[in-house]
Amino acid sequence: MKYLIRAFVLGLVGYVAGVALTLAIRGGSATDEVVVVFGFILALIGWLAGIGGIEAFGRQWIGKTPQVSTDRTWRRYFQFSTDHKGIGIHYGVTLLAVLLIGGLSAMIIRIELATPGMSIVDLEEFNKITSMHGILMIAVAVAGIIGAFGNYIIPIQIGAADMAFPRINAVSYWLVPPVAIGLLSAPLLGSFSAGWTAYAPLSVIGDSGQILFNMAIISFGLSSILGGLNIIVTVITMRAPGMTWGRLPIFTWAGFATAILAFSVTQFFAAVLVLVTMARVAGTDFFGPEVGGGIMYQHIFWFYSHPAVYIMVLPGFGVILEVVTTFARKPLFAYKAVVGSLLTIVGLSVVVWAHHMFTSGMADFLHAPFMILTEAISIPTGVIFLSIIGTLWQGKLWFRTPLVLAFGWLFNFLIGGITGIFLADVATDIHLHDTYFVVAHFHYTIVGGSIFALLAAFFYWFPKITGRMYNDTMGKIFAIWVTVAFNFTFIPLFWVGINGMNRRIGEYPHAYESANLFASV
């Protein structure tokens, strides 16, 4: 615990030092955004130094041998341990806490939407709560499987003793707690109301809590890039003798494909948030109408954020394929085709971003190419579905909790994929854009494709990680309950969306009351 206490102390000292130094140079108030930026940077450095960076890196900088914790007791979870299993558990526990907080904000949203008009919060507070909910759940979807189970399972599957860069792996995790603290501290500065997308110019002119959002997500992006780099190098260079590319477990292939995307595109989101931060603290103007406008922000943002959908979903593919092969008691059907599909998705995901922008005012001649490319990406995804069905076909199915959740994943993600076709088509997207149809589709894609897979992974590898067995009857009850409840919540949102109910607005006409009340209950 002493390292964790030291990290909090040095983080606080770093923040105070950053604030004091900035005030000494330029004056102003402790809540000025430029002061918060430098305070956050020094706080992050202090946190990393305190948790173990001094021993792991600082000693080497002065010519001494670096030291990292070799403790294998419970204390390793509160210090700079480089053990890949411990780091995987770190990710899992931390992101579970974030998931619960994000779920609490979802409850507030649904309570508010149960009836027309504003009841428990006002419109501005509603936007802030939905923005916080969105970014917290996105963080869980991005790092939940690949952070927790990627770190724990991939080295074991390929016969490696650890990740290629153990100290960098520890850094990639210990960047995450300050991210959560930064986001949850944003309400102290007025929070942020521009949504998880942080569209400019809203993110440029919003409350000062937006600056903490920017700094937190830039830090989270650094964590994602370092984690992706580590997995790529580990899989390429540390496979056991005989573990050829054609023998890699499918979860490792999914993690490898995810890591390529995380390493390649995350910096675009970080870069555009740097531009927003500069606009807020230095008076630059990257998004004015005479420069790039809001459309430039959207292009840069979605160049990351549509591939990010696959950063969230590809690990889920790997989990479900592992679960299905185990509980169907058959080898994976069409293994090579699945591997090719995973890599094809990686390639296509970076050329489909602008289907999010059909109503943005971008050039009309871009509509058809992006529509065709977006629909083309459904082909490799369909191959993966066929592989799952082919593996289940005539298998000796063993209905345990992970397989029940896999069936829930199959049903939910199928709905997410089918409804996505309507949003990829220009004619229907113009009608459905910015409605609750998009909200429902997005939840079926991300919750259905990532969170259900995360739950399946939890039950599948729980005995491996803990040495204990859960109550399978209770597990199956939970799996069925969460699948049914999820569908009862989000199926009605397709209907209200088709009929024109706008998202991100806390009030709505009485015509949508019954469907919203049903979804909330």
Nearest-angstrom CA–CA distance, 323 and 177? 30
Nearest-angstrom CA–CA distance, 360 and 374? 17
Question: Locate tokens 């910015």: which residue?
Answer: 434
Please report the DSSP string for 358-389 in residue order: TTTT--GGGHHHHHHHHHHTHHHHHHHHHHHH
What domains are there in the chain, each with its CATH number? Answer: 1-63 (no CATH), 84-520 (1.20.210.10)
Residue among 181, 127, 175, 148 nearest 255 (CA): 148
Structure tokens at 323: 């679960």
Please report the DSSP string for 67-119 in residue order: --B---SGGGGGTTB--HHHHHHHHHHHHHHHHHHHHHHHHHHHHHHTSSS-S
Give me the tens of pLDDT residue by residue for the chain, a chain 521 residues long. Answer: 788 899 999 999 999 999 999 999 988 888 899 999 999 999 999 999 999 888 888 888 888 888 877 767 777 778 888 899 999 999 999 999 999 999 999 999 999 999 998 889 988 999 999 999 999 999 999 999 999 999 999 999 999 999 999 999 999 999 999 999 999 999 999 999 999 999 988 999 989 999 999 999 999 999 999 999 999 999 999 999 999 999 999 999 999 999 999 999 999 999 999 999 999 999 888 888 777 778 899 999 999 999 999 999 999 999 999 999 999 999 999 999 999 999 999 999 999 998 999 988 888 888 999 999 999 999 999 999 999 999 999 899 999 999 999 999 999 999 999 999 999 999 999 999 999 999 999 999 999 999 999 999 999 999 999 999 999 999 999 999 999 999 999 999 999 999 999 998 889 999 999 999 999 98
Please report the DSSP string for 385-448 in residue order: HHHHHHHHTT------HHHHHHHHHHHHHHHHHHHHHHHHSHHHHHHHTTBHHHHHHHHHHHII
Residue among 301, 290, 302, 386 nearest 338 (CA): 386
Q: Are 412 and 448 in contact (CB under 8 A)?
A: yes
Question: Locate tokens 């479900």: which residue?
Answer: 320
Nearest-angstrom CA–CA distance, 125 and 405? 35
Nearest-angstrom CA–CA distance, 277 and 283? 9
Rounded to 5°, the CA angle 342-348-294 comes to 130
Residue 478 phi, psi dihedral angles, 5° rounding: -60, -45
Torsion over CA of 344, 349, 350 and 354, rounded to 10 degrees? 140
Nearest-angstrom CA–CA distance, 350 and 355? 12
Q: Are 90 and 79 in contact (CB under 8 A)?
A: no
Nearest-angstrom CA–CA distance, 309 and 288? 28
Nearest-angstrom CA–CA distance, 229 and 169? 9
Nearest-angstrom CA–CA distance, 471 and 119? 41
